[in-house]
A and B are shown apart, each in its own frame.
Chain A
Amino acid sequence: MKRLKGRLAWSMMGVLAAVLLAFGATRSSGPSTQEERIDAISKRLACPTCNGESIYVSRASAAESIRNEIARQVAAGQRVDDEIVAYIESRFPGSLLLPPGEGVDSLVWILPVVALVCGFGGLVVVFRKWKREGDVQANADDAGVVAAALRDYEDPTEGL
């Protein structure tokens, strides 16, 4: 059993996982129907009249007409997704749901990374500190106090 769970078995498992993941990740992906392209595009755009809902989510009539426009462009097949998004954005400024990584807006992307680095960096620092200081040690007196307290606690039952 020990050998079964040894390094060899674990390395085999690692290789197997890597191969399967590589195979799966590289095989054909992407939307298979026009409708799925329309969905993918409409998820990236905000509906102009409905409080931050995407075109994909919203059932409002403005969203419906933009969805029809996207459908027309997808059906025409002349533009790729990014171009369609850019076209809609040019007609309805501010409809991009993904904040661009420029200027102040880039903070929305940078701050999460900073938070993650700070979080795990902080963990590393405290573990270093703990390692340096070592664990608390009680001296023989402390142990005596605890033992006496426990004796007191159990005494009543012994006396009966």
Chain B
Amino acid sequence: MTNSIEEIEHTKIILVTGSNTTENHPIIGAAIKRAVKHHGAKLIVADPREIELTEFATCWLRQKSGTDIAWINGLMHIIIAEKRYDKDYVAKRTEGFEEVKKSLETFTPDFVSKITGIPKEDLYVAARLYASERAGIFYTMGITQHSHGTDNVKALANLSMLCGNLGYPGAGVNPLRGQNNVQGACDMGGLPNVFTAYQPVTSPEARAVLEKEWGVTGIPDKPGLTLMEMTKGMAEKTIRAAYIMGENPVVSDPDSEHIIHALKEVDFLLVQDIFLTETARLADVVLPGASFAEKDGTFSNTERRIQRVRKAIDPVGRSKPDWQIISEISTRMGVPLQYPHAEAIFEEIRRVTPSYAGITYERIEEEGLQWPCVSEDHPGTPYLHKNRFTRGLGKFHVVPYAGPKENPDAEFPLILTTGRILYHYHTGTMTRKSPGLTQLAPECIMEISVQDAKIFNILTGDRVGLRSRRGEIEVRAEVTKRIPVGTVFIPFHFAEAAANRLTNTAMDPVAKIPELKVCSVRVEKIG
């Protein structure tokens, strides 16, 4: 996030898109609701589904799944046409505007309305509202999990810069991170192209610092493979050994059949987890990790806040904190990566991670600090890009329209979109262990519109077969007006009805993120 969660409640204009915030980030969802109810904020929601926040929205744009570039560019088209943009900001703090302005000429309300299905009037309302005051944009996977996810984000960044909405409290572009430490995993260089603090692996300087700190030579300088490329490599036998820690790709990744096949192909698969997950079942060796309640360390949240994780209970059974396991493996391989405690690792992190350099366990004992925090007297950074963008000038990117890779046809006439629900989390390995949560959400429920339900002769409670070009699952139907005509929604928490047996592996070319939010399916009532 460019901004802090605390700022949301006092943000005047809030644009939420591709985020069912009250279910997936309930604390932020409630803050948005309070902003509207108590502080007079105006809320714009852009989402095909009638999520809870639409009740609170001044304006709800109900776009067709996968057509986000069109409506975002469309809003900019109106804002520019009506000269509502922040000319001063654009002139002083950005570059590339003229080119983008030109590229937006074709995104007329008529054109956009035709692609997205959003009524023209709504586009005007939303555009004028967004341009009226300091505005914050909040999005999640509904924006990114597309074959053009990077472009979606670029388009939102364009919109934000256009109205001078970056570099102020509450105003910015805010991806809400889905997992407790996905921010930290990225910050720590858990990515194929960067080291800690996003220092490129291609940078000789960054490598030199690490080689010195680590006392090694020959840190590879070419970017490695992304997750989806790795599984392809496994299937093609170019990847021969894999070490998977705390991930369950068999359920979380698109096209499960393909993943299972790939994992079976590797010569040696090590999985480290707290449960015998669907992925762990395929492993050659499974090592028991300790849960977050059983170890010390830090997580970095979606607002870049580094916070302490503290051991509350002893590791269950013979499980061990993951860092100890990695340490023991490396030691047995002849490179002892040994530390007396988690804090010693953090001290090393500080030395090689400029944005974390000023953070110590002592400083975050009570309350976390937000990076960048470059020195021990630095107060942390509640919002980014104040006065100056990290790269200097904010860059406008031309974003041409692109739709989903797979579109409905006679054989697969419906769009399937996937996501999470309030009562479960990710692949369900944690939440489905709770009797209370299971009582509230016992099984995979498919939302289908009233009109489609009629066509396919489906009633609420019916068992339904859901089939895509890649696989088939069985779910229970709920007929609802929450979902638009032509689209069905299922959550991906349920391994026995794994959404990802159906989803498409089409990827965004830059971020390599799969298009989990749109694929084509057909439904059949069972029995």
Interaction A to B: no
Residues of B at the A interface (CB closer than 8 Å) are none
Residues of A at the B interface (CB closer than 8 Å) are none
